[in-house]
Structure 1
Amino acid sequence: MLKPTDAPELPRILYSCYASRSREGEQFVSEHIFGCQLAGTMLLDDGQQQHCFGEGSVWLLRRNQLMKFQKQPPARGEFETLSVFFDQPTLRAVSQEYGYQAEGHTPGPGVLPLTPSPLYTSYFESLRPYQQLAQPSQAPLLALKVREALLLLLQANPALRDVLFDFSEPGKIDLEAFMQANFRFNVTLSRFAYLTGRSLANFKRDFEKLFLTSPSRWLQQRRLQEAYYLLKEKGRTPSDVYTEVGFEDLSHFSFAFKKAYGVAPSRV
């Protein structure tokens, strides 16, 4: 199995395979990811839109994005995906070697569905023999496969150079709009600060000026409001909604909900 490693010099190609049950969670996508759904279904939610990828689907995830995911194995089968991570040193090296440059920062969705093609199919099939090569000594071979994926994408979608070779960090953006769209993600305040183009101190200062309360208090109140709506209007259950709105565990959610609304979430 190819897995990411803590060693930064090892190229990252991840093969994910398991059976028997769905898995869900969220993550910060720190690098662009080129992925293919080999079997089962992948649901991705970037806070703006939900995408459903079935067998044979191909996608690109943009870096510096918050993402919720749900992985569903097929009936009587295994969930399988292959993902290639484009790290910044590799992208900068390819940019310098081939002259690829972004024409400027291009805002856009975090998930870019790609039109399946025989080229993509052949490439991901070619990765299967490499599933046992996730060792530091095999880094040169994996690096070639990562570069191959990058050049293949650019050949099929030349406009992606404005995404892949945009090396700018997040700029200062509309804080209210971002937080209203992303409060469901259970990430640190420093991560929210980075994604809105602020230092942590400036994020807290701007936040309190805008919302007239602290970020932590606002996040809890906003998540509880969303949970109440889902329970009351949509008929959801507490065990369904607590992670969806950004709480880490059910007991903490239940305690905070009862304190805010005077009733346990199971009684709504």
Structure 2
Amino acid sequence: MVQDNDHILLNNLLYSCVDAAQRGNEQFVAEHSLGYVIAGEVQCTTADGMGNVKEGTIGLIKRNQLLKTVKMPPPGGEFKAINIFFGQDILRRYSMENNIHAAGPYLGEKYRVLPDDPFIKGYFESLLPYFDQPGRLSNTMIELKTKEALELVLKIEPSLKELLFDFAEPHKINLEAFMNQNYMYNVPVDNFAKLTGRSLAAFKRDFGKIFNTSPGQWLQEKRLNEAYYLIKEKGIKPSAAYLDVGFENLSHFSFAFKKAFGVSPSLI
């Protein structure tokens, strides 16, 4: 079990509960995730754009993508949501046991909203007691609960087998275009490598040929230039801009900004 003040992670089950608007950790979504927003809403940003996931929404997000979130509680209440992550191992077992296979690589939407369904909502409600008593969640129960979720999803949306059981890894894509579109995501370089269909060594080699510098140096310069534009031209406060462009903390951002431009970000 992993727990902080706002989140409880039990194996592949995540419960979130926050009482103030909160940016989530910037994520490389490594596994498909089925989520239910119990209360409040989530502002999501991906390479495909930005959108709000409303209270009561059940959605499935595809693995191997980058994501930024802001969790927003309802007036006077708490944001609450549950997610279950579908690992590749259990998906492969389920696929073989039930003879369900994808016809080919999935090329559809990366986030799918499911129809309002009382059985899936009832399923998520059945998970809540385990977050209070995690000792009751055995490995056998985790397997059963994960398969139950898959059964429910495929019952109401059979076409999702094409998303769930596409086991292909990302293919090699245009690195320059990808990085210029996704530099603001604060994730390790090896995640960028995976999403461009390269090993880390091949990514660094190709990156050097294209940009004539290292990924770390390029990312910092790109993020600083964008931050300068947001603060000076758009009036964004430094306390928001540093997160928007992919810096992890304000002090590091302020130090790097002053070193690059000769002035504190609060003074431009």
The TM-score normalised by the length of structure 2 is 0.89
The equivalent of 2:156 in structure 1 is: 156
Moved more, 149-158 or 106-115: 106-115
Q: State how far apart, in whole Å, the 2-side matches of 1:171 and 1:71 are.
A: 32
Q: State how far apart, in whole Å, the 1-side matches of 2:192 and 2:198 are.
A: 9
What letter is aligned with 1:57?
T
Q: State how far apart, in whole Å, the 1-side matches of 2:139 and 2:253 are.
A: 44
Q: State how far apart, in whole Å, the 2-side matches of 1:130 and 1:248 are.
A: 32
* Cα separation, partners in 2 of 1:249 and 1:114, compared to 1, 3 Å: same
The TM-score normalised by the length of structure 1 is 0.89
What does residue range 1-268 of structure 1 map to in structure 2 within 5 Å?
3-5=8-10, 12-132=12-132, 134-135=134-135, 138-268=138-268
Deviation at 1:261, TM superposition (A): 2.5
SS of residue matched to 2:36: strand
Deviation at 1:21, TM superposition (A): 4.9
SS of residue matched to 2:81: strand
SS of residue matched to 2:134: coil
Q: State how far apart, in whole Å, the 1-side matches of 2:209 and 2:9 are.
A: 41
Deviation at 1:111, TM superposition (A): 2.7
* Cα separation, partners in 2 of 1:128 and 1:255, compared to 1, 3 Å: closer
Q: State how far apart, in whole Å, the 1-side matches of 2:137 and 2:230 are.
A: 51
What letter is aligned with 1:201?
A
Whether the 8 Å contact between 1:37 and 1:58 is mirrored in structure 2 is yes
Unaligned runs of 5+ in 2: none
* Cα separation, partners in 2 of 1:212 and 1:154, compared to 1, 3 Å: same
* Cα separation, partners in 2 of 1:14 and 1:180, compared to 1, 3 Å: same
Q: State how far apart, in whole Å, the 2-side matches of 1:158 and 1:191 are.
A: 30
Q: State how far apart, in whole Å, the 2-side matches of 1:3 and 1:88 are.
A: 22
Q: How many residues align?
A: 263
What letter is aligned with 2:248?
E
Q: State how far apart, in whole Å, the 2-side matches of 1:246 and 1:114 are.
A: 31
State the percentage of identical aligned residues: 48
Report the RMSD for the aligned CA atoms in angstroms. Answer: 2.1
Q: State how far apart, in whole Å, the 1-side matches of 2:139 and 2:150 are.
A: 16
Q: State how far apart, in whole Å, the 2-side matches of 1:129 and 1:247 are.
A: 37
Whether the 8 Å contact between 1:46 and 1:111 is mirrored in structure 2 is no
